[in-house]
Structure 1
Amino acid sequence: MRTITLIIIHCSATPEGKSLSAEACRQDHIHHRGFRDIGYHFYITRDGEIHRGRSPEKVGAHCRDHNTHSIGICYEGGLDVDGRPKDTRTLAQRGSLLALLRELRVRFPKALIVGHHDLNPLKECPCFQCTAEYRDL
Protein backbone atom coordinates (compact mmCIF):
# COMPACT_ATOMS: atom_id res chain seq x y z
CA MET A 1 0.00 0.00 0.00
CA ARG A 2 1.11 3.54 -0.71
CA THR A 3 2.00 5.85 2.16
CA ILE A 4 -0.85 8.36 2.40
CA THR A 5 -0.06 11.71 4.04
CA LEU A 6 -2.90 13.80 2.57
CA ILE A 7 -6.61 13.46 1.94
CA ILE A 8 -7.38 16.19 -0.59
CA ILE A 9 -10.91 17.47 -1.13
CA HIS A 10 -11.96 18.90 -4.49
CA CYS A 11 -15.09 20.17 -6.19
CA SER A 12 -16.04 19.38 -9.77
CA ALA A 13 -16.54 23.09 -10.61
CA THR A 14 -20.07 22.29 -11.74
CA PRO A 15 -22.58 25.18 -11.49
CA GLU A 16 -25.74 24.87 -9.42
CA GLY A 17 -28.54 23.49 -11.55
CA LYS A 18 -26.17 21.46 -13.76
CA SER A 19 -25.20 17.87 -13.29
CA LEU A 20 -21.91 16.04 -13.65
CA SER A 21 -22.32 12.37 -12.88
CA ALA A 22 -19.42 10.23 -11.76
CA GLU A 23 -19.39 8.54 -15.15
CA ALA A 24 -19.44 11.89 -16.99
CA CYS A 25 -16.50 13.05 -14.86
CA ARG A 26 -14.67 9.79 -15.63
CA GLN A 27 -15.27 10.21 -19.36
CA ASP A 28 -14.10 13.83 -19.25
CA HIS A 29 -10.88 12.81 -17.52
CA ILE A 30 -10.26 10.03 -20.04
CA HIS A 31 -11.23 11.80 -23.25
CA HIS A 32 -10.30 15.43 -22.54
CA ARG A 33 -7.48 15.19 -20.06
CA GLY A 34 -5.85 12.00 -21.35
CA PHE A 35 -6.04 10.13 -18.03
CA ARG A 36 -6.43 6.34 -17.86
CA ASP A 37 -9.39 6.72 -15.50
CA ILE A 38 -11.10 9.31 -13.34
CA GLY A 39 -8.43 11.20 -11.41
CA TYR A 40 -10.17 10.94 -8.02
CA HIS A 41 -10.46 8.01 -5.66
CA PHE A 42 -13.99 9.01 -4.62
CA TYR A 43 -16.68 11.18 -6.21
CA ILE A 44 -19.77 12.33 -4.28
CA THR A 45 -22.84 13.27 -6.29
CA ARG A 46 -25.45 15.76 -5.07
CA ASP A 47 -27.67 12.95 -3.80
CA GLY A 48 -24.87 11.95 -1.42
CA GLU A 49 -23.91 8.76 -3.24
CA ILE A 50 -20.22 7.95 -2.92
CA HIS A 51 -18.85 6.61 -6.19
CA ARG A 52 -15.55 4.79 -6.19
CA GLY A 53 -12.99 6.04 -8.67
CA ARG A 54 -9.42 4.84 -8.70
CA SER A 55 -8.51 2.25 -6.13
CA PRO A 56 -6.79 3.85 -3.10
CA GLU A 57 -3.81 1.61 -3.89
CA LYS A 58 -3.38 3.46 -7.19
CA VAL A 59 -1.90 6.93 -7.58
CA GLY A 60 -4.56 9.51 -8.42
CA ALA A 61 -4.45 12.40 -10.89
CA HIS A 62 -6.00 15.27 -8.97
CA CYS A 63 -3.32 17.50 -7.41
CA ARG A 64 0.02 18.17 -9.06
CA ASP A 65 3.06 17.22 -6.95
CA HIS A 66 0.87 15.46 -4.35
CA ASN A 67 -0.72 12.53 -6.18
CA THR A 68 1.74 9.87 -5.07
CA HIS A 69 0.97 10.34 -1.37
CA SER A 70 -2.69 11.35 -1.33
CA ILE A 71 -6.29 10.26 -1.67
CA GLY A 72 -8.48 12.53 -3.81
CA ILE A 73 -12.16 13.13 -3.04
CA CYS A 74 -14.37 15.28 -5.26
CA TYR A 75 -17.90 16.52 -4.66
CA GLU A 76 -20.20 17.43 -7.53
CA GLY A 77 -20.67 21.21 -7.50
CA GLY A 78 -18.62 24.14 -6.30
CA LEU A 79 -19.98 26.99 -8.44
CA ASP A 80 -23.05 29.18 -8.18
CA VAL A 81 -25.41 29.60 -11.15
CA ASP A 82 -23.19 32.36 -12.55
CA GLY A 83 -20.04 30.23 -12.36
CA ARG A 84 -18.55 31.85 -9.25
CA PRO A 85 -16.97 29.72 -6.51
CA LYS A 86 -19.48 28.67 -3.85
CA ASP A 87 -19.89 25.88 -1.34
CA THR A 88 -22.81 24.09 -2.98
CA ARG A 89 -22.63 20.86 -0.98
CA THR A 90 -26.05 19.44 -0.24
CA LEU A 91 -26.89 18.02 3.19
CA ALA A 92 -26.55 14.56 1.66
CA GLN A 93 -23.08 15.40 0.32
CA ARG A 94 -22.00 16.87 3.65
CA GLY A 95 -23.09 13.72 5.47
CA SER A 96 -21.46 11.38 2.97
CA LEU A 97 -18.24 13.37 2.92
CA LEU A 98 -18.04 13.34 6.71
CA ALA A 99 -18.70 9.57 6.84
CA LEU A 100 -16.08 8.92 4.14
CA LEU A 101 -13.51 11.10 5.91
CA ARG A 102 -14.12 9.24 9.18
CA GLU A 103 -13.60 5.93 7.39
CA LEU A 104 -10.42 7.16 5.72
CA ARG A 105 -9.18 8.61 9.01
CA VAL A 106 -9.30 5.08 10.50
CA ARG A 107 -7.36 3.68 7.56
CA PHE A 108 -4.90 6.60 7.32
CA PRO A 109 -4.79 8.10 10.84
CA LYS A 110 -1.82 10.41 10.20
CA ALA A 111 -3.08 11.88 6.91
CA LEU A 112 -3.96 15.57 6.90
CA ILE A 113 -7.34 16.58 5.48
CA VAL A 114 -6.89 19.56 3.18
CA GLY A 115 -8.58 21.30 0.29
CA HIS A 116 -7.01 21.67 -3.14
CA HIS A 117 -6.73 25.39 -2.41
CA ASP A 118 -4.51 24.68 0.60
CA LEU A 119 -1.92 23.14 -1.74
CA ASN A 120 -2.43 25.50 -4.67
CA PRO A 121 -3.65 28.97 -3.60
CA LEU A 122 -4.38 29.86 -7.23
CA LYS A 123 -7.32 27.43 -7.09
CA GLU A 124 -10.61 28.15 -5.31
CA CYS A 125 -11.39 24.43 -5.17
CA PRO A 126 -13.15 23.03 -3.14
CA CYS A 127 -14.82 26.38 -2.37
CA PHE A 128 -14.99 25.91 1.41
CA GLN A 129 -12.44 25.81 4.23
CA CYS A 130 -11.74 22.07 4.67
CA THR A 131 -8.99 22.40 7.23
CA ALA A 132 -11.19 24.43 9.57
CA GLU A 133 -14.30 22.30 9.04
CA TYR A 134 -12.53 18.97 9.62
CA ARG A 135 -9.89 20.10 12.12
CA ASP A 136 -11.25 17.93 14.95
CA LEU A 137 -11.84 14.84 12.84
Structure 2
Amino acid sequence: MTALGPIKYLTIHCAATPEGRDVKAATISQWDKAKFGQVSYHHVVELDGKDVVTLPDTVKGAHVGLNNTGNIGICYVGGVDAKMKPKDTRTPAQKATLRQLVGEYRLRFPNIIVRGHRDWPGVARACPSFDVKTGL
Protein backbone atom coordinates (compact mmCIF):
# COMPACT_ATOMS: atom_id res chain seq x y z
CA MET A 1 0.00 0.00 0.00
CA THR A 2 1.20 3.46 -0.90
CA ALA A 3 0.99 6.37 1.54
CA LEU A 4 -1.65 8.98 0.67
CA GLY A 5 0.46 12.00 1.57
CA PRO A 6 -0.89 15.29 2.97
CA ILE A 7 -4.61 15.55 2.31
CA LYS A 8 -5.43 18.38 -0.13
CA TYR A 9 -8.43 17.08 -2.08
CA LEU A 10 -11.66 15.18 -1.63
CA THR A 11 -13.28 13.74 -4.76
CA ILE A 12 -16.88 12.54 -4.97
CA HIS A 13 -17.68 9.62 -7.30
CA CYS A 14 -20.63 7.45 -8.24
CA ALA A 15 -20.37 3.70 -8.73
CA ALA A 16 -22.25 3.93 -12.06
CA THR A 17 -24.69 1.30 -10.85
CA PRO A 18 -28.37 1.51 -11.87
CA GLU A 19 -30.75 3.49 -9.68
CA GLY A 20 -32.03 1.42 -6.78
CA ARG A 21 -29.65 -1.53 -7.28
CA ASP A 22 -28.43 -2.40 -3.80
CA VAL A 23 -24.73 -2.92 -4.49
CA LYS A 24 -22.64 -3.19 -1.34
CA ALA A 25 -19.29 -1.55 -0.65
CA ALA A 26 -17.55 -4.94 -0.58
CA THR A 27 -18.68 -5.63 -4.14
CA ILE A 28 -17.39 -2.26 -5.37
CA SER A 29 -14.06 -2.95 -3.66
CA GLN A 30 -13.89 -6.36 -5.39
CA TRP A 31 -14.53 -4.72 -8.77
CA ASP A 32 -11.77 -2.18 -8.06
CA LYS A 33 -9.28 -4.86 -7.02
CA ALA A 34 -9.97 -6.72 -10.26
CA LYS A 35 -9.59 -3.57 -12.38
CA PHE A 36 -6.90 -1.57 -10.54
CA GLY A 37 -5.24 -4.12 -8.28
CA GLN A 38 -6.45 -2.34 -5.16
CA VAL A 39 -9.44 -0.73 -3.46
CA SER A 40 -10.15 2.64 -5.06
CA TYR A 41 -12.15 4.64 -2.52
CA HIS A 42 -11.76 5.63 1.11
CA HIS A 43 -15.53 5.58 1.66
CA VAL A 44 -18.49 3.99 -0.10
CA VAL A 45 -21.95 5.30 0.75
CA GLU A 46 -24.57 2.59 0.31
CA LEU A 47 -28.24 3.18 -0.62
CA ASP A 48 -29.35 3.28 3.02
CA GLY A 49 -26.77 5.98 3.76
CA LYS A 50 -24.35 3.64 5.52
CA ASP A 51 -20.78 4.93 5.27
CA VAL A 52 -18.41 2.01 4.74
CA VAL A 53 -14.74 2.88 5.23
CA THR A 54 -12.87 0.88 2.59
CA LEU A 55 -9.42 2.49 2.89
CA PRO A 56 -7.81 4.35 5.77
CA ASP A 57 -7.06 8.04 5.19
CA THR A 58 -3.34 7.23 5.21
CA VAL A 59 -3.45 5.00 2.09
CA LYS A 60 -3.58 6.26 -1.50
CA GLY A 61 -6.63 5.12 -3.45
CA ALA A 62 -7.04 4.59 -7.20
CA HIS A 63 -9.88 6.90 -8.19
CA VAL A 64 -8.60 9.90 -10.18
CA GLY A 65 -5.93 8.63 -12.55
CA LEU A 66 -2.66 10.38 -11.78
CA ASN A 67 -4.25 12.65 -9.15
CA ASN A 68 -4.60 10.28 -6.19
CA THR A 69 -1.82 11.63 -3.96
CA GLY A 70 -3.40 13.63 -1.13
CA ASN A 71 -6.86 12.86 -2.50
CA ILE A 72 -9.66 11.24 -0.47
CA GLY A 73 -12.16 9.33 -2.63
CA ILE A 74 -15.81 8.98 -1.66
CA CYS A 75 -18.16 6.93 -3.85
CA TYR A 76 -21.92 6.61 -3.61
CA VAL A 77 -23.82 3.59 -4.93
CA GLY A 78 -25.83 4.56 -8.01
CA GLY A 79 -25.28 7.35 -10.50
CA VAL A 80 -27.05 6.00 -13.60
CA ASP A 81 -30.61 5.21 -14.64
CA ALA A 82 -31.90 1.85 -15.87
CA LYS A 83 -30.49 2.58 -19.36
CA MET A 84 -27.06 3.37 -17.87
CA LYS A 85 -27.40 7.10 -18.57
CA PRO A 86 -25.94 9.50 -15.96
CA LYS A 87 -28.50 10.45 -13.31
CA ASP A 88 -28.30 11.78 -9.78
CA THR A 89 -29.79 8.75 -8.05
CA ARG A 90 -28.73 9.61 -4.49
CA THR A 91 -31.25 8.66 -1.86
CA PRO A 92 -32.03 11.18 0.89
CA ALA A 93 -29.92 9.04 3.24
CA GLN A 94 -26.97 9.10 0.82
CA LYS A 95 -27.24 12.88 0.45
CA ALA A 96 -27.20 13.30 4.22
CA THR A 97 -24.19 11.02 4.64
CA LEU A 98 -22.26 12.73 1.84
CA ARG A 99 -22.94 16.16 3.40
CA GLN A 100 -21.80 14.83 6.79
CA LEU A 101 -18.59 13.28 5.40
CA VAL A 102 -17.66 16.39 3.43
CA GLY A 103 -18.37 18.54 6.50
CA GLU A 104 -16.15 16.35 8.67
CA TYR A 105 -13.27 16.53 6.20
CA ARG A 106 -13.67 20.30 5.89
CA LEU A 107 -13.40 20.60 9.68
CA ARG A 108 -10.30 18.40 9.80
CA PHE A 109 -8.69 19.99 6.72
CA PRO A 110 -9.98 23.59 6.37
CA ASN A 111 -8.25 24.14 3.01
CA ILE A 112 -9.44 20.89 1.40
CA ILE A 113 -10.66 21.24 -2.18
CA VAL A 114 -13.85 19.27 -2.85
CA ARG A 115 -14.53 18.18 -6.43
CA GLY A 116 -16.60 15.77 -8.41
CA HIS A 117 -14.66 13.24 -10.48
CA ARG A 118 -15.79 15.08 -13.62
CA ASP A 119 -14.27 18.33 -12.30
CA TRP A 120 -10.72 17.05 -12.68
CA PRO A 121 -8.88 18.17 -15.84
CA GLY A 122 -8.94 15.56 -18.57
CA VAL A 123 -11.87 13.58 -17.11
CA ALA A 124 -14.50 13.01 -19.80
CA ARG A 125 -17.31 11.42 -17.82
CA ALA A 126 -20.37 12.55 -15.91
CA CYS A 127 -19.31 11.04 -12.57
CA PRO A 128 -20.70 11.70 -9.96
CA SER A 129 -23.81 12.62 -12.01
CA PHE A 130 -24.44 15.84 -10.07
CA ASP A 131 -22.70 19.20 -9.59
CA VAL A 132 -20.67 18.87 -6.39
CA LYS A 133 -20.45 22.65 -5.98
CA THR A 134 -24.22 23.03 -5.72
CA GLY A 135 -25.43 19.54 -4.83
CA LEU A 136 -23.96 18.89 -1.39
Q: TM-score, normalised by structure 1?
A: 0.90
Aligned residue in 1 for 2:115: 114
Q: Percent of aligned positions with the same letter in both sequences?
A: 37
Deviating 4+ runs (over 3 angstroms): none
The AA in structure 2 aligned to 1:92 is: A
* Structure 1, 64-73 or 43-52: larger mean CA deviation: 64-73
Conservation of the 8 A alpha-carbon contact between 1:41 and 1:54:
yes
Query: What is the rounded CA distance, in whole Å, between the counterparts of 1:60 and 1:46 in structure 2?
Result: 22
> Cα offset for 1:69?
1.6
Aligned residue in 2 for 1:10: 13
Query: What is the rounded CA distance, in whole Å, between the counterparts of 1:132 and 1:6 in structure 2?
Result: 17
Aligned residue in 1 for 2:35: 33
Conservation of the 8 A alpha-carbon contact between 1:17 and 1:81:
no
> Cα offset for 1:133?
3.0
Q: Secondary structure at the match of 2:69?
A: helix
Aligned residue in 2 for 1:91: 92
Query: What is the rounded CA distance, in whole Å, between the counterparts of 1:58 and 1:121 in structure 2?
Result: 23
- 1:26-56 deviation per Cα after TM superposition (whole angstroms, max 9, x unaligned): 11112x21423x2100000010000001111
Gaps (5+ residues) in structure 2? Answer: none
Conservation of the 8 A alpha-carbon contact between 2:20 and 2:47:
no
Aligned residue in 2 for 1:19: 22
Query: What is the rounded CA distance, in whole Å, between the counterparts of 1:34 and 1:76 in structure 2?
Result: 19
Aligned residue in 2 for 1:82: 83
Q: TM-score, normalised by structure 2?
A: 0.91
Q: Secondary structure at the match of 1:33?
A: helix
Conservation of the 8 A alpha-carbon contact between 1:78 and 1:87:
yes
RMSD: 1.4
Conservation of the 8 A alpha-carbon contact between 2:11 and 2:116:
yes
Number of residue pairs aligned between Structure 1 and Structure 2: 132
